[in-house]
Amino acid sequence: MSVMRTKSIEQSIKETDDPEFQLKKKLTALDLTVFGIGVIIGAGIFTLTGRAAADYAGPSIALSFVLAAICCGLAALCYAEFASTVPVSGSAYTFSYASLGELVAWIIGWDLLLELMLGASVVAQGWSQYATLFLEKIGITVPASVAPGSHFDLPAFVLVAALTALIAIGIKESLRVNLVLVGVKLFIVLFVIVAGLSYVKTSNYTPFIPPATAGKASEGLAAPLIQVLFGLTPTTYGILGIVSGASIVFFAYIGFDVVATTAEEAKNPQRDLPIGIIASLVICTVLYVATTLVITGMVKYDKIDPKAALASAFESVGKPGFATLIAAGAVAGLMTVVMTLIIGATRVTFAMSRDRLLPPALGRTNPRTGTPVRLTLIIGTAVALIASLTPIGKLEEMVNIGTLSAFALVSLAVPVLRSRRPDLKRSFTVPFSPVLPVVAALISVYLMVNLSVETWLRFLVWMVIGFLLYFTYGIRNSRLAVRAREEKESSVTSG
């Protein structure tokens, strides 16, 4: 049995017509764009902006966001080509199955499950903190025994449970709610930009690129892998500070790849998927850059509160009431992130189940809702328990390493599939291939080695668990394995 066996594009598309594993095609380009914005704009714009400006790049953090957007844009182009060529649920997992082989596909699927489930859990805890803060501002106190930081985070559990029920009802219904919440989130972001313009002091932009200073080196398992391997000393501010800032704010863009997990549910995937992926990334970049310019213009970069940059910026100019509005925006914003990450995790495991790498009973769709209800409830329950019972803050970098490994492999898969299947009709193609895909992969690997040794060790443990599952179940039970055995038996019988 070959672990590098590939699944043809035609076979992948044909299997989407299986009545037991058929998703309903309901999504338009607008739905997909809103879906992407919903997951990209989250905790990053409410918290990460201030921390990155204060600790890494000063006002030039706006350039860090542009640099990070370019890096993400390269990966987005690769995702767009694959999603429009292989309009099948599963995102990077499905793309890799068609180009790099079954074992690589399993690795990516396992990585994506880590990224999406853990990401949803982390963001649910962040939502719980903002929701508790917002409730306190309007006079409602959450009991300490079930508040964020307690043994059972009730708000996080209730949020995930409610969103899981909504997702199980139907994808279109989920995205209608998502559309409303994204509207609220965008209103808050635009409010911050417009309201903050009148408080901008141009003197706060000087120096726009602060002089470079030596950063503090981490020690032990907390040290970045690149520091351990090459003895590099981190730099704050200056040109390298902009690059370091980009490696931090890069993670504020994570999410556009989730759009590709819904490929099978798009009405016109060849046209709508590239629009949804690229448009959501462009819109979010403009909003990120505008927000950073306003915040660093309102408050001198070395006086920014890294924990609550937006709210504290308005408090510093005598507008504390705006903090309540911003908290409300964060509640709406993080809710959409949790929902889209759960949808993404469900669609990836659905694709793996349909391919029999996971038990097929998990992925069967409900005839009425057109969604994999059983799998949705399993994923939702797992996320709810992790979010409510686990002090997961230390594991946030696991989300990043899972995402970046998928980025690298998808980028490399683009030229591989072009070489193997030049006959395929591609409605969207990455320009300057294979140069741009290889550059995208190298950037992803560079960002991965900037993560801590501790994160790499946890990632290796997760991968060992994944390999055990694959070699004890998936390798023998996958559709391709069963088909190969049947063909062999048929050949022996006929012979």
What pLDDT digit, counting tens, does each position of 243-254 carry? 878 877 876 787
pLDDT tens-digit readout, 276-330 = 888 888 998 999 899 889 989 998 988 887 666 777 788 788 887 787 787 777 7
pLDDT at 215: 65
pLDDT at 29: 84
pLDDT at 126: 80
pLDDT level of residue 90 (50, 70, 90 thresholds): low
pLDDT level of residue 234 (50, 70, 90 thresholds): low
pLDDT at 468: 95
pLDDT at 451: 82
Residue 155 pLDDT > 90: yes
Mean pLDDT across 355-379? 87
pLDDT level of residue 439 (50, 70, 90 thresholds): very high
pLDDT at 152: 92
pLDDT at 393: 59
CATH number of 9-489: 1.20.1740.10
CA distance 276 to 262: 11
Count of alpha carbons within 13 Å of 49, Cβ hemisphere only? 30
pLDDT at 88: 72
Closest-CA residue to 127 (of 276, 340, 314, 428): 340
Residue 1 pLDDT > 60: no
pLDDT at 263: 66
The three-class DSSP label of residue 421 is coil
Q: Where are the domains of the chain?
A: 9-489
pLDDT at 461: 93
Which residue matches tokens 């994923």?
A: 379
Residue 47 pLDDT > 70: no
The three-class DSSP label of residue 402 is helix
CA distance 395 to 385: 15
pLDDT at 203: 92
Closest-CA residue to 255 (of 34, 485, 96, 38): 38
Q: How many CB atoms lie within 10 A of CB 289?
A: 17
pLDDT at 486: 81
Q: What is the mean pLDDT of the chain?
A: 83
Mean pLDDT across 75-94? 77
Residue 257 pLDDT > 90: no
pLDDT at 222: 74
Mean pLDDT across 108-136? 85
* Segments in 317-372 forming alpha helices (H): 321-354
CA distance 184 to 174: 16
pLDDT at 161: 95
pLDDT level of residue 392 (50, 70, 90 thresholds): low
